[in-house]
Structure 1
Amino acid sequence: MDLFVCADCGAELSVPVERVALPPETHARGGHEPLPPLMEPGTYAVDPEPWRRPWRAWEELSAAETAAAGVYAPVYPVPLGPRNHLVLAPGDTRGTRLVPERCENHCLGIAAGAEPHLECVGCGRGVGFREDDCGLWQTVWYAPGAVVRRPLKVPAPAPPPPDRPSYDGFDGLARWQDLRLAAAAGAALARLLAASGGAPLTLPAGPVTALLGREPARLLPAGPPARRVGLAGPGLPGDGADITLVPADRRTGGPQSPRRTPVGPGPDGGRTPAVVPLPARLWARLALPVETSPMPPSGRPPAGVLRDDYPLPDHPGRLLGPDRHVLRRTLARLPEVREPWLRAVYDRL
């Protein structure tokens, strides 16, 4: 666990928080509606990407400059600000005051401006930004250099188990839950396309194909040899699959089991990764048995036992799909997108 303090006066600016992986929905937008906090209570993450301002046009930068900014395919504009901003839930921050006149033009809430609009109460130093405008996750961003991390000799709590899927799968979730799952699916799909090496993919029937199958079928060539995609994780060995979808580690964002299976060469003769980590929330909805009642009994039923006293809907009201903005945004930040075949896929998106 860590505590954040002001770099100038040492005043405490947070409660004890645990570092976790940056959520894939961090840069997703939710339209004209308020969203809940991005981060779970008691956690924080570090965004390695450059902070927004200053901006530059893609054509004005060299390949070395865009790579230094962490982008490898055209994005407009390219952010060149400082890296490693800290993001926390607003309720986990302490000792700051808002300076409204420094906020960006906004609609129903607050948006970040050109200079920090959160000040340390102790000394008045600008330490970060608060955002909660419509379409934005509720966040506090502490600027790198303005705060100091103070490690605490307190163990982090055990991570929660993956949620069991709801009775109707992806349909019927709250709007903000849909946004989280769609963003996670978009980021996972970008990595799945990169892992394909340009070969067609064979996905397992059911939720995986329903959620992730459309874009590979449209963007990748048809016909053999295809690479088989499988689910792996607790209770699912994924044996024989060329590419496995595994639950991501909550703290690092990487695969919980960093096992890699040899994969054949792609069109450029290179080798592609065989493991695609999925956030636990998404992996659970693809891999775990579906609870068939919206009101399960207290506790958990025995392994393999499902409720059968609540009928499934005949047809889903709507289908959840990968967030295309997150898909394209993630692809642009994968070094593999410099390969001609994947750059062509990116351009088609």
Structure 2
Amino acid sequence: MELFACTHCASALTRPVSQVRFPPYARHQVGNGLRLSDLMDAGTYAVDPEPSGPPWRSWEDLAEGEAEARGYYAPVPHHLSDGPPGRTVLAPADVTGTTLIPGSAAGYCCGITGQDGPNLACARCGHPVGAREDDCSLWQAVWLEPAAVRRVPAGPRPPVADWTDLVHDRSDVPPVGADGRWNDRSCQEIGTTLVDLIVAADGSPVAFDHAGAATVFDHALRHYQPGTDGPVKRCALLGPGRPLTARHPELALVPRHPQTDLPWPTPPDVTAVPLDLAVWRHLAFPHTRPAVRVRGALRAEIDRDDPLSPGRRGGVWFDSWLIRDLLARSPAVRRPAVRAAYRAGYAGWL
């Protein structure tokens, strides 16, 4: 465990937190006019390995070989940052000892952003340390500047949870709401996994062994691979409590460990496609209850306190900007089938 302290006066700026994977969709906006949830779970933080903030450079300004050195293998329409790497992102609830900088809380209609630079200062010494963001279409988060803070040991890391315990843990926010739609973070996680499926399929048609996985991925995968060719690749849903069957698949959707970021291990001849644990758990072991026929209408208090389980009818928002950006960052985009998926564009509910 670590906490972050001000480099100028050493005051604590956060509660003890533990490091987890940096969400690849952290810098992507979602929708228009939407109030998003927290990007990070309470008690966790992540470090952005890439540059962020000004100055900015367009794709045309990059010298030969510079794009690949920065992890891009296909053109992107947005400008690339030449700012410092290593910004830290946390849930707002884990930040303490800070205060808003007067006149620096820029934003639009629903909240504030860090578009004009830091809007948070150390409450003790007044030095700028980071930015709070909670405007519409932005993830609610606090971003700490790498030069303004330092990590301080704050106790041992939490023990790595066993896969069995993770499968049975239902304490987190359900990934699907009462309307049957996946929440914003789950949609972006599903979009991230879709990119891995596109790369793993490499133009071959994919047949899902699991009906729920087919509902989530099949339509979008066929959109990004319209001219599939070659032998069908079977894709199973594998993980703790869902072992291999007699029919050996070529691909497997497996859970990603939330602490180690490692996927559930698969046999060498099965290509693992990591999936967010909460999404995988909802597909593998959905908590559904059969409907019971009753006469008349349910009393309002029963309908309120014991609603039906949410349906799983898809309801995934596939963000084409995120998918295109992640494909551009994959060396596989040089292959014809993956390049065709990179050129395809779509954004909407499927």
Cα offset, 1:123, TM superposition: 2.7
Cα offset, 1:310, TM superposition: 8.4
Identity %: 37
The residue that corresponds to 1:319 in the other structure is: 315
Q: Describe the SS at the equivalent of 1:161.
A: helix
The residue that corresponds to 1:280 in the other structure is: 277
| In structure 2, distance between residues paired with 1:288 and 1:63 | 49
Match of 2:252 among 220, 226, 244: 244
Structure 2 CA distance for partners of 1:209 and 1:82, relative to 1, 3 Å: same
Matches within 5 A, 1:1-349: 1-26=1-26, 27-80=28-81, 81-156=83-158, 161-162=166-167, 170=176, 172-173=178-179, 178-220=183-225, 221-239=227-245, 240-257=248-265, 259=266, 261-262=268-269, 274-292=271-289, 319-349=315-345
| In structure 2, distance between residues paired with 1:171 and 1:125 | 41
- Equivalenced residue count is 320
The residue that corresponds to 2:303 in the other structure is: none
Cα offset, 1:38, TM superposition: 1.7
Structure 2 CA distance for partners of 1:28 and 1:173, relative to 1, 3 Å: farther
| In structure 1, distance between residues paired with 2:251 and 2:314 | 29
| In structure 1, distance between residues paired with 2:186 and 2:235 | 20
Cα offset, 1:317, TM superposition: 7.9
* Residues 34 and 135, structure 1, Cα contact 8 Å, conserved in 2: yes
* Residues 130 and 140, structure 1, Cα contact 8 Å, conserved in 2: yes
| In structure 2, distance between residues paired with 1:260 and 1:101 | 57
Q: Describe the SS at the equivalent of 2:54.
A: coil
* Residues 36 and 184, structure 2, Cα contact 8 Å, conserved in 1: no
| In structure 2, distance between residues paired with 1:170 and 1:123 | 43
Structure 2 CA distance for partners of 1:185 and 1:63, relative to 1, 3 Å: farther
Across the aligned residues of Structure 1 and Structure 2, the Cα RMSD in angstroms comes to 3.0
Q: Which runs of 5+ in 2 are unaligned?
A: 292-305, 346-350
| In structure 1, distance between residues paired with 2:105 and 2:250 | 49
Structure 2 CA distance for partners of 1:281 and 1:9, relative to 1, 3 Å: same
Q: Describe the SS at the equivalent of 2:215.
A: helix
| In structure 2, distance between residues paired with 1:40 and 1:102 | 26
Give the TM-score normalised by structure 2.
0.81
Render the CA deviation track for 1:172-223: whole Å, top value 9, x for unaligned.
Answer: 3587x52122111110000110111232222224111111011322333335
Q: Describe the SS at the equivalent of 2:142.
A: strand
Give the TM-score normalised by structure 1.
0.81
